[in-house]
Structures are given as C-alpha cells and as structure tokens.
Amino acid sequence: MHRDWTIIVDDREKKPLPFPEHLVIADEIGNPCTIRLHTTSQRIHKGDYHLLGYERHCVIERKGSLGEVLNNLNTPAAAKRLEDEMFYLRTHVAHPVLLFEGDFGHLNPNLRDGTPAGAVTYGLLAMLARHRITPLFMSCATLAQRRTFAENTARLLIAGALHLSQPQPQPQVTHAT
C-alpha cells in the first residue's frame, strides 16, 4: 500500500479543503496505518479534487452552496452546463462525487423566483442518479467540520484509488438540445 499520496486541487478553488499532512486509514487487512498527504494546486479540466495518478478512479466536484446550485438549475443554460459536466464525469471517471457545502436544513423552502426548492432538489438528485454520481453534503459552519470533511474526502479518494478499476463502459446517454 502506498504511504504517500498527492491530492491535486483545482487552482480555481477559492476555499480549498484543509487536508492534513498525516491521515489514519486502514491497511489491506484492516489495521490502522498512518499515511502522508501532499497537496498541489493545478488546473483540473473537470472536478476539483483527485489523486495524482488516479484521475480516472475518483474525482470530486465541489459546489459552494446547495442553495446556489438549486437557484442556478432553475435556468435552462445553467442546468445544461451542470448536466454536461455530470455526463463528462460519469463517462470518464469510475466514481465521481458531487460535494455540496451546507445542508438541506439551511435551505429555504422556495428559491429566489418562488419555485419550491423540493422540486428543484428532486431534479438535481434525479440528474445525479441518471449519471450514477454520489452526492455528499458537508456542513462547513466551523473549521473543525471542514477539517473532518477534508480527512474523509481524502479517505474517499484513496479508497477509490485502491478499490476501483478503470471505468466500465457506460451506456450512451443522449442530451436533448
């Protein structure tokens, strides 16, 4: 098992996750072991976080706010951009993850234009299900919460690197234009 991992962080991330230098995971037989994490910032074509050398195993796309994404999905152009991004991730990555900062508990019942948030939330979750993309919701109210989530994000990336093979061929999905 590798003891040193490098997380690539997209250089456009305004508030990157605070990854630790050392992290406890489990080795091949389940015993705790400490690994070293390095981070480097560079331009990533799609996604915001991945492990160096494992770009097609697990990629995490971070969205700053669930509420903002839902408001943006209410416009056809923004919805198409997100759908295209999810399609790309699903067809090029074995395990794509969409990470949202915030949680449903802080979401207003209606969007800015009055549309019920539940209807747009369903549309978002249906899109993610269609593309088999895992949604994660992260509460970021405190630095401790951000650190904990950064640790678990690193564990998810490493698990993807160690346990996922290259993406399997996916059925072709056509987009309505």
Question: Is there a contact between 31 and 68 (Cβ–Cβ < 8 Å)?
Answer: no
Residue 117's SS3 state is: helix
Please name the residue that has the structure tokens 């962080």.
9
pLDDT recorded at residue 106: 59
pLDDT at position 114 is 76
At 79-132, the pLDDT tens digits run: 888 889 889 999 999 999 998 877 666 556 666 777 787 777 888 889 899 999
Half-sphere exposure of 28 (CA within 13 A, CB side): 4
In a domain, 59, yes or no: yes
Is the whole-model pTM more than 0.85? Answer: no
DSSP alpha helices (H): ranges in the chain?
66-73, 76-92, 117-130, 143-163
CATH code, domain carrying 149: 3.40.50.10130
Instruction: Give the confidence band of 62 by pLDDT, cuts at 50, 70, 90.
Output: confident
Residue with tokens 């690539």, as numbered in its chain: 8
Read off the pLDDT of each residue in 16-44 and give the average, rounded to a whole number.
94
**Looking at the domain assignment, is residue 97 inside a domain?**
yes
pLDDT class of 175 with cuts at 50, 70, 90? low
* Domain count along the chain: 1
